Amino acid sequence: MDDLHTPDRDTAARIVREVDFEHRLAGGYVHERAGVMMLSLYSVEEVFALLCSACPQIDIGQLERWLRTTIGDSELADRVRDIAAQDESRQDLLSRVRDAIGLRLVQCRQALATESVNALRASCGRCGYPP
Cross-strand pairs, 31: 35
Question: Residue type at 31?
Answer: H
User: In terms of residue numbers, what domain contains 93?
Assistant: 9-127
Residue 63 domain-assigned (yes or no)? yes
Residue 120 domain-assigned (yes or no)? yes
Q: In angstroms, rounded to a whole number, what is the distance separating the alpha carbons of residues 47 and 49?
A: 5
Crossing angle for the helix pair 44-51 and 90-127, to the nearest 10 degrees: 140
For residue 16, the model assigns a pLDDT of 96
Would the CA dihedral through 16, 124, 129, 110 be positive or negative? positive
Backbone angles phi, psi at 3, to 5 degrees: -90, 10
Helices in 74-89 by DSSP H: which ranges?
74-84
Residue 41 domain-assigned (yes or no)? yes
Q: What is the pTM of this model?
A: 0.84
| Cβ within 8 Å of residue 34, ≥6 positions away | none
Residue 2 domain-assigned (yes or no)? no
For residue 32, the model assigns a pLDDT of 85
Residue 77 domain-assigned (yes or no)? yes
Residue 1 domain-assigned (yes or no)? no
pLDDT 10s per residue in the chain (131 long)? 457 999 999 999 999 999 999 999 999 999 888 888 999 999 999 999 999 998 999 999 999 999 999 999 999 999 999 999 999 999 999 999 999 999 999 999 999 997 655 555 555 555 555 55
Domain total in the chain: 1
Residue 69 domain-assigned (yes or no)? yes
